[in-house]
Amino acid sequence: MSLFDKFSTLQQTRQALLQGGVSPFHLTVEKILSPTEAIMNGCHTILVGSNNYLGLTFHPECIQAGRQALEQEGTGTTGSRMANGSFAAHGHLEQAIADFYGLPHAIVFSTGYQANLGILSTLAGSGDIILMDADSHASIYDGCRLGGAEIIRFKHNDVSDMEKRLRRLGDRSARTLIVVEGIYSMLGDRAPLADMVGVKKQYGATMVVDEAHSLGILGKNGRGLVEEVGAEQDVDCIVGTFSKSLGSTGGFAVSHHSLFDMIRYASRPYIFTASPCPSVVATTTAALRVVRQHPELQRQLWDNANRLYNGLKTSGYSLGAEVGPVIAAMIPTKELALAMWQGLLENGIYVNLMIPPATPNGECLLRCSVSAAHTEKQLVHIDRTFQNLKEKFLP
């Protein structure tokens, strides 16, 4: 027996997909043409699965900032901030994020995944409890496991189940970290955050909200679900990523707690990971400034999201309950999902193919992520293609 033998089942599953003529693992993005278009496998393709919600990947201010940083500071930092020191730009970005949220403390991480690893594993350790939504992202699961805390899951978006489990903990609820997301990445549904915050305060627990898919999307100023429900002073920490609305890479955490900055000295993922490179820091800082100066991007995103959601709904697709930047069409079987995904690709449309075990409740999904940069012509083509595939495969 070899350690590699465990992958034989996975290999068989992959081979079965390939034998069916569908190759979701071998897509090559040969050339990016714009925030919403690319050449993929030799074909001109509309990107409807990139999470580029505000379409900032080609924004001239961001590109200019990145180019200038490359010329002045080089390609990389070659080490962690703890070992090599912080570039001035790291501190400027952290201050910009803190100002954006109106909170005193911010920490930047090299990826959004790492932000959850670094924050969750450091806040809750041995002897503590983590109470997490069952449909949480993989980075949340891994961050919770890394710290060694006791992990308890509650039913997805079920406030009653969350409260019941907190109540059972008794006095231990004061040492409990609750972890939820603003917008969930698979079906695009939101946490019932206002009610959850009420329960959290009742039991004296601590709460972290992952706003990866809601930064720049929700709230008057784009601060996410926490802002939209008015819970900015009740939530203990907000984590997020730069790789969605800000069109970059990296992650962050912000908080109002006076001791929050001490996480830098205790978080192994932060201490031992090379810091973000200068061009990434520069483009992210510029993108954050663009978000603050151009609220019309958020309005355009919602116009596009409503248009596509209503179009797919009218065509008869079963969708997530809420309109948002993530629109997931539920497909009855894996075989149909694969065939329809291939049909979209053949018509020049790329969406995310999501199949078990990566999806909640064993659903098969064709997951769209809408962008403010999608044009009316693109949205019409996407809508009509989905309609034609519905008539062909799901009459």
Q: CA-to-CA distance for 263 and 272, rounded, in angstroms?
A: 13
Q: CA-to-CA distance for 202 and 194, rounded, in angstroms?
A: 13
- The residue behind tokens 């907190």 is 166
Question: Beta partners for 343?
Answer: none
| Four-point Cα dihedral 347, 381, 56, 34, nearest 10 | 50
pLDDT recorded at residue 173: 97
Mean pLDDT by 10 residues, the chain (395 residues): 89 76 78 97 95 98 98 97 96 98 98 98 97 97 97 98 98 98 96 98 98 98 98 97 98 98 97 97 98 98 98 96 95 93 96 88 93 98 98 92
| Four-point Cα dihedral 212, 324, 51, 317, nearest 10 | 130
Q: Smallest Cα–Cα separation from 361: which of 140, 151, 155?
A: 155
Q: For residue 259, give the 3-state DSSP assignment.
A: coil
- The CA-CA-CA angle for residues 287, 292, 296, to 5°, reads 100
Q: CA-to-CA distance for 142 and 154, rounded, in angstroms?
A: 17
- CATH code of domain 17-47+295-393: 3.90.1150.10
Distance of CA 122 to the CA centre of its chain: 21
Distance of CA 247 to the CA centre of its chain: 12
Q: CA-to-CA distance for 120 and 141, rounded, in angstroms?
A: 9
Question: Beta partners for 40?
Answer: 29, 43
- The residue behind tokens 């990826």 is 111
- The residue behind tokens 């999201």 is 305
Residue 51: which region, alpha, beta or left (left: phi > 0; alpha: psi -120 to 50)? left
pLDDT recorded at residue 10: 82
In order of 95, 181, 281, the CA distances from 61 in angstroms are 19, 30, 13
What's 358's DSSP letter? S
**Inter-residue contact 215 to 181 (CB < 8 Å):** no
CA atoms in the 13 A half-sphere facing the CB of 50: 28
Q: CA-to-CA distance for 35 and 33, rounded, in angstroms?
A: 7
pLDDT recorded at residue 22: 66
Q: For residue 387, give the 3-state DSSP assignment.
A: helix
pLDDT recorded at residue 21: 65
DSSP 219-251: STTS--HHHHTT-TTT-SEEEEESSSTTSS--E
Q: Per the structure block, which two tokens stand in for 194?
A: 């206002």
Report field, pTM of the whole predicted structure over 0.75 = yes
- CATH top class, domain 60-293: alpha beta
What's 190's DSSP letter? B
Q: Smallest Cα–Cα separation from 115: which of 237, 286, 232?
A: 237
In order of 232, 350, 361, the CA distances from 220 in angstroms are 13, 31, 33
**Inter-residue contact 111 to 100 (CB < 8 Å):** no
Are 17-47+295-393 and 60-293 equal in CATH topology?
A: no
Q: CA-to-CA distance for 25 and 17, rounded, in angstroms?
A: 10
| Domain boundaries of the chain, sorted by first residue | 17-47+295-393, 60-293
- The CA-CA-CA angle for residues 184, 111, 367, to 5°, reads 30
